[in-house]
Structure 1
Amino acid sequence: MTKRAEAKYKIDRRLGQNIWGRPKSPVNRREYGPGQHGQRRKGKLSDFGTQLRAKQKLKGYYGNISERQFRKYYAEAIRLRGDSGDNLIGLLERRLDAVIYRAKFVSTVFAARQFINHGHVKVNGKRVNIASYQVKVGDVVEVKEASRQLTLVLEAVGLAERDVPDYFEVDHGKFTAKMTRVPLPREVPYPVQMEPNLVIEFYSR
């Protein structure tokens, strides 16, 4: 178990939001932050604080990506044509761990990262063990045949708490998923509001 996976509910409590929409999130019971100072009254956030919070929330949602890697996504997002906020979300949704999570082959994005690292996933018939691998529209992502009966896979497929977004074609009988298009931020089923434009503003200061 990685340190990030162990600390995933601390992210919820620190931000004061159930960012994955999980029923077991401690925010459902305690809306204050973790630690001895968690119940202090919070003042109004500055513009910088609001931007920082938006960045922490988006970064945390995708498995608490490292700051170095997240900054690379920002650099790529502003390099591409079109709205930088839309580009940022598109890049994050094309991560292989995000695809595995969206397809409901595992129950959390943290589990998706570990699942990929352990060699359970193929892209276009070739094994890929890099969670940040960028899936292209039309790529076929599949769970390796020997891994399809793992308990975590079977339990995730049966989860009723979230649906597969319509920008994926998923066959749970064959354990395959294909991204049909890169989504816009409003199409991504975030349990809480994400503000990618504030993230762009944070890095472009």
Structure 2
Amino acid sequence: MSKRSSAKYKLDRRMGENIWGRPKSPVNKREYGPGQHGQRRKGKVSDFGIQLRAKQKLKGYYGDVTEKQFKKSYVEASRMAGDTGQNMIGLLERRLDAVVYRAKFAPTIWSARQLVSHGHILVNGVKCNIASRLVKPGDEITLGNKAKEMALVMEAQSLAERDIPEYIAPDGNAKITFTRVPTLDEVPYPVKMEPNLVVEFYSR
């Protein structure tokens, strides 16, 4: 269902980190970048480069959302009370495709987005095909009847490499409740994310 396997693994190698914690990531074997020059010694990275890398990593983790959508999350987070970086993580985790991925309804963020866009996900009993929709605390997310029988969904639910986080309450295999907006330390990222650097990147 997801067609981005080569691209997402390229991102892993470019960053030198297993961003999604997948066992098949090439970084598990070699941590240098792709291509014939991947093993060259890296020069000193500027502050801008560090911030850009943090942005690419966070943006890539959520399925390479468009730059417009990602910047919109920053702008909205900066208008909210409290820490902008924490607010931004909260907004990204509230995306419907991210919630579907966290609920283990799909093995990758891309397949989660596709499940949503193909109309296999219900929010409070109503079909929703907008992956960027923001879920609110108390919302119930349910798999459609056809989706329950999909091999992709059954594969995702059997994955041992990640657990359902505490802010998502499962009710059987096909229904979850989004209980609250998480903080950065509650989100189960396989690698360190630095939203404060993303905020610095956009606030230059």
Shorter-normalised TM-score: what interval? over 0.9
Q: Which residue of 2 aligns with 1:52?
A: 52
Residue ranges of structure 2 left out of the alignment (5+ in a row): none
State the SS of the aligned residue for 2:9: helix
The answer on whether the counterparts of 2:2 and 2:108 sit within 8 Å (CA) in structure 1 is: no
Larger mean Cα displacement after TM superposition, 164-173 or 99-108 = 164-173
Aligned positions of 1:47-86 closer than 5 A: 47-86=47-86
Runs of 4+ aligned structure 1 residues displaced above 6 Å come to none
State the SS of the aligned residue for 1:7: helix
Please state how far the C-alpha of 1:38 moved relative to its aligned partner: 1.7
> Is 1:131 matched up with 2:131?
yes
Q: Distance in 1 between matches of 2:6 and 2:130?
A: 20
Q: Distance in 2 between matches of 1:143 and 1:6?
A: 28
Identical amino acids, percent of aligned pairs: 65
Q: Which residue of 2 aligns with 1:176?
A: 175
Q: Which residue of 2 aligns with 1:195?
A: 194
Q: Which residue of 2 aligns with 1:95?
A: 95
Q: Which residue of 2 aligns with 1:150?
A: 150
Letter in 1 for 2:194: E
Q: Which residue of 2 aligns with 1:110?
A: 110
Residue ranges of structure 1 left out of the alignment (5+ in a row): none
Deviations along 1:96-115, one digit per CA (max 9) or x if unpaired, are 11000100011111110111
Q: Distance in 2 between matches of 1:113 and 1:6?
A: 17
Letter in 2 for 1:201: E
Letter in 2 for 1:33: G
| Cα RMSD (Å) | 1.3
Normalised to the residue count of structure 2, the TM-score between the two structures is 0.96
Q: Give the length in aligned residue pairs.
A: 204
Letter in 2 for 1:30: R
The answer on whether the counterparts of 1:123 and 1:140 sit within 8 Å (CA) in structure 2 is: yes
Q: Distance in 2 between matches of 1:26 and 1:49?
A: 23
Q: Distance in 1 between matches of 2:2 and 2:141?
A: 24
Q: Which residue of 1 aligns with 2:160?
A: 160
State the SS of the aligned residue for 2:170: strand
